[in-house]
Chains A and B, each alone.
Chain A
Amino acid sequence: MNWQPKTTLQVLQLRAALLAQIRGFFAAHHVLEVETPILSSAANTDPQVENFTTTFAGPDAAQGRQLYLHTSPEFPMKRLLAAGSGPVYQICKVFRQGEAGRYHNPEFTMLEWYRPGFSHHQLMDEVEQLTRLLLAQLDLGKSEYLSYQQAFEQYAGLDPHQANCEQLISCAEQHGLKGVTGLAKQDRDDWLNLLMSHVIQPRLGQQRLTFIFDYPASQAALARICPTNPLVAERFELFLQGVELANGFRELTDAAEQQRRFLEELQQRAHNGQTATPMDENLLAALNYGLPDCAGVAVGVDRLLMLSSGASEISEVLSFPIGRA
């Protein structure tokens, strides 16, 4: 039996200190710590994210009621914002089916916060401020801010908004990615994702924080489409040492557009042969009521800890990774 922890006492102490620093930072910035349910009757509809499911049996659920473990606390946090919470943050475990590897554990710790009145650029500034505080011992250089387009032009030599599938495929081949099994020629965003994760990302954030912003509108997720440039969504990510650390949005507040995206994702799920998942009607109702204009971001706490402790695998910073859970 592998009853012993995978990590060291030193890393456990580092995690505790990191969490205390995060709480201190938000207390000083007057952002309220909140908790939202881990179990939800609605699920994430994103075809690229799979939900864990469980069943509640008890009062009002004699036949058993299917519930989903949240993949992110985003929807209920937005319901709090719509109800007038003001700026809020949360540190919680989130759950993603099927994800395990060097940088993935099916349950992991997420820090998520929302800033009413912030643009995605203002929020990137705050993410930089907090990350520098948490990784003070790393001696990071001046941060880099690149648009998604600039990053592709610099590292892949093409314009991600104009390039067609053939150009993306030949670019992948030039970078040694031949015969990628299972990728269909016409899945443009999958090819962009392949180039991003295999060619560009490993070179981002070398001894500094690199923010990539303004993702293609087709990868908007829950971000607002830029009002002056319909090609891009107001979404950003943060990378350090080639590791994806954060993902943020100028949040979509339009209920009709949100519903359209949910339905589109469900359609894609059906097309892929994935199980249908119930969309969050409560979120749609909250957006209809009125979500304040805001920006929000999710940060992977375990990966922060990996970088701050020099660990090469996420399992080194978890007390009991999935193999010992």
Chain B
Amino acid sequence: MGIIRKQIVQESNNTMASYSTNEFKRGLKVMLDGDPAAIIENEFVKPGKGQAFNRVKLRNLKTGRVIERTFKSGESIEAADVVETEMQYLYNDGEAWHFMDQETFEQVAADEIVVADAKPWLKEQDICTITLWNGAPLSVTPPNHVILKVVETEPGVRGDTATGGNKPATLETGAVVQVPLFVNEGELIKVDTRTGEYVSRVRE
């Protein structure tokens, strides 16, 4: 993983890569107004007689905002040096969250804006997906499922494993999730980070 990423970075640095509208496709990373962006949708628009255009939807990778842009077909746009890589979450020093590439032992620090929505799910030693732009972290995606300890919740209702009913539980990372009534403090639970929902109890 680390080696592949290095090659891509080197290539784009050497050639100042750019993409013509004919190369546009979903997922392509480009520079738009000085920010890295990913193409979400690309539509070829052409009247029988008249100029061809590419109507493109992009996501600004710094702000997450979706932008619509139209390009005269045949135009080019600068490529963004954006790569995704897996890194291990190490620790938070109060200001930054530190991650490490497990093959190269290279470390990066992400600030609060970058960590953003991932913050409540970051547990030390978990493997996260880090999006890097020019080598600096742009966003952090936690694993789809994380196992976290319940540090605070109302006392459990013994035996009540069948009927519904939920209660809030605070987890070791500070995240609050809705859990079934039978879950107790000190127990480990599995949470889906994409929905923020409880999945199951986990035996230690």
Measuring CB to CB, which residues of chain A are less than 8 angstroms from any residue of chain B? 46, 48-49, 98-104, 176-177, 179-183, 189-190, 193-194, 196-198, 201, 219, 221, 237, 244, 247, 298, 300
19 CB-based A-B contacts, threshold 8 Å: A46-B49, A99-B44, A99-B46, A101-B45, A104-B46, A179-B69, A180-B53, A180-B69, A180-B72, A182-B71, A182-B75, A183-B51, A183-B72, A194-B53, A196-B47, A196-B50, A197-B53, A219-B49, A244-B47
Q: Select the residue from A181, A183, A196, A300 with max chain B CB neighbours within 10 A.
A: A181
**Residue-by-residue, is B75-92 near A (CB-CB < 8 Å gives 1, otherwise 0)?**
101000000000000000
Q: How far is the CB of B181 from chain A (nearest CB, A)?
A: 47
**Distance between Cα atoms of A193 and B73 in the complex (Å):** 13
Tell me, rounded to whole Å, the shortest Cβ–Cβ distance linking B19 to chain A.
12
- CA A29 to CA B49, docked complex, whole Å: 29
Chain B contacts of A219 at CB under 8 A? 49-50
Q: Choose among B45, B48, B50, B72 the residue that contacts A182 (Cβ–Cβ < 8 A).
A: B72
Contact of A48 (CB < 8 Å), options: B44, B49, B71? B49
Q: Which residue of chain B has its CB nearest to the CB of A184?
A: B72
A176 partner residues in chain B, CB cutoff 8 A = 68
A193's contact among B43, B51, B55, B77, by CB below 8 Å, is which?
B51
Choose one: B44, B49, B72, B75; the contact of A104 (CB below 8 Å): B44
Given contacts A181-B77, A182-B74, contact A197 B47 (CB under 8 A): yes
Cα(A122)–Cα(B49), bound, Å: 22
Judged by a CB distance under 8 angstroms, whether B52 is at the interface is yes
Measured between beta carbons, the chain A residues less than 8 angstroms from B49 are 46, 48-49, 219, 221, 247
| Residues of chain B within 8 A of A181, CB atoms compared | 69-72, 75, 77
B residues sitting closer than 8 Å to A (CB atoms) are 22, 43-53, 55, 68-75, 77
Alpha-carbon distance between A300 and B47 when the two chains are bound, in angstroms: 12
CA distance A179 to B33 in the complex (A): 10
Query: Are B52 and A190 closer than 8 Å at their CB atoms?
Result: no
A237 to B71, CA, bound (A): 24
With A194-B53, A197-B45 known, 15 other A-B pairs at CB within 8 A are A46-B49, A48-B51, A99-B52, A104-B46, A181-B72, A182-B71, A182-B74, A183-B51, A189-B50, A196-B47, A197-B50, A198-B53, A198-B70, A221-B49, A247-B48
Would you list the 4 A-B pairs with minimal beta carbon distance, nearest first? A101-B44, A182-B72, A182-B75, A193-B50
User: B18 CB to closest chain A CB, in angstroms?
Assistant: 12
Q: A194-B51, A247-B48 are in contact. Are A101 and B70 (CB under 8 A)?
A: no
Nearest opposing residue in chain A for B45, CB measure: A197
A83 to chain B, nearest CB (A): 26
In the assembled complex, the CB of A74 is this many whole angstroms from the nearest CB of chain B, namely 12
A178 → chain B closest CB, angstroms: 8
CB-CB under 8 A from A100, the residues of chain B are 44
Residues from chain B with Cβ under 8 Å of A244 in the complex: 47-48
Q: How far is the CA of A96 from the CA of B43 in the complex (A)?
A: 17
Q: Inside 8 A of A194's CB, which chain B residues have their CB? A: 51, 53, 70
Question: Which residues of the other chain, B, contact A98 by a CB distance below 8 angstroms?
Answer: 22, 52, 73
Please name all residues of chain B whose beta carbon is closer than 8 Å to the beta carbon of A103 when the two chains form the complex. 44
**Assembly CA distance A99 to B75 (angstroms):** 15
Residues of A within 8 A of B43 (CB): 101-102
Residues of the A chain whose Cβ atoms lie less than 8 Å from the Cβ of B46: 48, 99, 101, 104, 197
B75 neighbours in A (Cβ, 8 Å):
181-182
What is the CB-to-nearest-CB distance from B176 to chain A, in angstroms, rounded to a whole number? 39
User: When the two chains form their complex, are residues A48 and B70 in contact, meaning their CB atoms are under 8 A apart?
Assistant: no
Q: How far is the CA of A218 from the CA of B45 in the complex (A)?
A: 21
**Minimum distance in angstroms from A44 CB to a CB of chain B:** 11
Residues on the A chain within 8 Å of B71, using CB = 180-182
- Once A101-B44, A181-B70 are accepted as A-B contacts, the answer to whether A198 and B55 lie under 8 Å apart by CB is yes
